[in-house]
Structures are given as C-alpha cells and as structure tokens.
C-alpha cells in the first residue's frame, strides 16, 4: 500500500540512522578493546613497550655494566638484586643465574650479536633480547626452585642449544654467597 511520499522517511534519514547505529557498534568495539588493554595491563602485567635504553653491542666487553667482571647478580644498597646477562650465539653469560627468593630482582639483559629471546619457565618473564638495546624487567620470585631459561627467538644454527639456568635460593643462602663475591653466579 503506497504511502504519500511526504510521510515516508527520506533516504537521507534512513542512511543517517543506519550510520548512527554503525558508529555506536564501532565505538562499542573500540571501547571493549581499550577496556581489554586496561584490564590485561593492570592485572596481567602486559604493558605497552617501554624502558627503551641503548648500548653499543660491539663494545660491551670494554666498559660499562656488561663487562665480564660485572655480569651476574649484584646486591644493591637497598637490598634488591640486579642481574646482568649477555646473550650471544649460542649461550647466555652467566650460564647459571642465582637470585634470592622474596627479594625484588631487576634483570638487565642485552645481546652481543643478533636478536635473542629469554623466558624463565614457570614464571611470566619473557622478553626479546636485542643487540643495541638493554631489556630491563623487574620481578620477585616467591619461592626457591630451579628454572630453565631458554632462548626463544631463532638466532642461528646453534639456537636449540642456547639456554641458561635460574636458581632461586633462600635469602639466607644468597647472603652467604654474597659475602664471598661481589657478583654472584652459580656457574661451575
């Protein structure tokens, strides 16, 4: 039954209503995505890329904090521990990392050659290790135990052999070790 033209909605009104609905749906989707980012950011420690810091990968061994003598775990004045690691084809130095349980630990890791990766099994620690950049991340291990730390970024023909150990020990045992050396590892 045909309606008089003046009473039916004009084409542009129909289009406007459809567009408004679409806009609301899109806005809803974006709001949901932002909410997810906020939730995972606050509760799952998934943060936007951050803590960018550069270093010359060819001269790590000469000076600065990644010289051989300075690698391993260092006790800071505030009682926290800083662990410095160099990743290279096809090992991490030190090969065995020792840290105390229940103590804030800051990892500082860089690569001497190509892109490597690092994850500490049984924890949510997982980072890229890029030549030219220092990866910094903080954590606290809640209990003593041994963790494997493989390289998870293909770095060449020997990649599958590249991993290290992380030994989390009682704070008292760590303090005893720290009395004997200024940089600690559990290397052989």
Q: Are 98 and 174 in contact (CB under 8 A)?
A: yes
Q: Are 102 and 140 in contact (CB under 8 A)?
A: yes
CB of 156 to ligand HEC, least distance (A): 9
Mark 134-163 with x for binding to ligand HEC (rule: CB under 6 A) and - for no binding. ------------------------x-----
User: Which CA distances in Å does 67 have to 12, 39, 63?
Assistant: 71, 39, 6
Q: Residue length, the chain?
A: 188
Work out whether 112 is an interface residue with Cu ion (CB under 5 A). Answer: no
Among 14, 16, 25, 36, binds other proteins (CB under 8 A): 16
Euclidean distance between CA atoms 27 and 25, whole angstroms: 5
Euclidean distance between CA atoms 170 and 93, whole angstroms: 23
Which window, 4-12, 30-38, 99-107, 147-155, contacts Cu ion (CB under 5 A)?
147-155
Mark 72-111 with x for binding to ligand HEC (rule: CB under 6 A) and - for no binding. -----------------xx---------------------
Minimum CB distance to other proteins smaller for 57 or for 169: 57
Q: Are 140 and 70 in contact (CB under 8 A)?
A: no
Minimum CB distance to Cu ion smaller for 98 or for 151: 151
User: Binders of other proteins: how many residues, by CB under 8 A?
Assistant: 64
């Amino acid at each position: 039954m045909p309606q008089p033209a003046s009473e039916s909605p004009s084409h542009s009104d129909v289009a406007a209503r459809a567009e408004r609905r679409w806009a609301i749906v899109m806005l809803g989707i974006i709001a949901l995505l932002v909410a997810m980012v906020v939730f995972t950011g606050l509760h799952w420690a998934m943060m936007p890329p951050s803590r960018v810091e550069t270093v010359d990968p060819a001269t790590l061994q000469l000076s600065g904090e990644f010289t051989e003598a300075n690698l391993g775990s260092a006790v800071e004045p505030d009682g926290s521990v800083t662990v410095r690691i160099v990743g290279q084809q096809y090992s991490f130095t030190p090969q065995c990392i020792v840290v105390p349980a229940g103590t804030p630990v800051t990892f500082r890791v860089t690569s001497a050659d190509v892109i490597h990766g690092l994850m500490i099994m049984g924890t949510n620690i997982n980072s890229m290790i890029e030549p030219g950049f220092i990866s910094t991340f903080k954590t606290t291990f809640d209990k003593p135990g041994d963790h494997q730390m493989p390289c998870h970024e293909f770095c060449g023909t020997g990649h599958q052999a590249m991993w290290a150990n992380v030994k989390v020990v009682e704070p008292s045992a760590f303090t005893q070790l720290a009395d004997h050396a200024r940089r600690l590892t559990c290397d052989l």
